[in-house]
């Protein structure tokens, strides 16, 4: 497993989305993830989930950054917990979509932003 896949697995495990971590480790996704999300064709349902995920990241990133800046920031901790619960609500849908290689690669590419800004 290369460093990219290992860091992605660690990130997903921290979010509790173990299905994503399993998908990262699969041979199907062992190739390099492209950096342009436009290269991956998604269904309308998959697009909707990813639009929601992008909005979620826009809220999650500042909350994590605030919590890192001040470990005692109770508002940031509460926001992270709230957003983590929201992410958990997508688990079944994400599990199903991660079986689609295009979706999985799109998801990994989209998640790069979160990884770069948070970890």
pLDDT in tens, 45-102: 999 999 999 999 999 999 999 999 999 999 999 999 999 999 999 999 999 999 999 8
DSSP letter string, 57-93:
HHHHHHHHHHHHH-TT-HHHHHHHHHHHHHHHTTHHH
Nearest-angstrom CA–CA distance, 7 and 117: 13
Q: How far, rounded to the nearest angstrom, does the alpha carbon of residue 9 sit from its chain's CA centroid? A: 10
56's enclosing H/E stretch is helix 44-69
Nearest-angstrom CA–CA distance, 26 and 40: 18
- Grade residue 10 by pLDDT with cuts at 50, 70 and 90: low
pTM (predicted TM-score): 0.68
101-118 vs 3-15: helix crossing angle, rounded to 10:
80
Q: Which residue has the higher pLDDT, 33 or 113?
A: 113
């Amino acid at each position: 497993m290369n460093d990219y896949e290992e860091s992605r697995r660690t990130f997903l495990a921290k979010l509790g989305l173990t299905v994503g971590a399993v998908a990262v480790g699969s041979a199907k996704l062992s190739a390099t993830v492209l950096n342009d999300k436009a290269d991956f064709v998604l269904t309308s349902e998959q697009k909707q989930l990813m639009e929601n995920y992008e909005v979620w990241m826009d809220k999650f990133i500042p909350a994590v950054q605030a919590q890192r800046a001040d470990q005692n920031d109770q508002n940031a901790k509460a926001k992270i917990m709230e957003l983590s619960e929201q992410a958990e609500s997508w688990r079944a849908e994400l599990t199903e979509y991660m079986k689609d290689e295009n979706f999985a690669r799109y998801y990994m590419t989209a998640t790069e932003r979160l990884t770069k800004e948070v970890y």
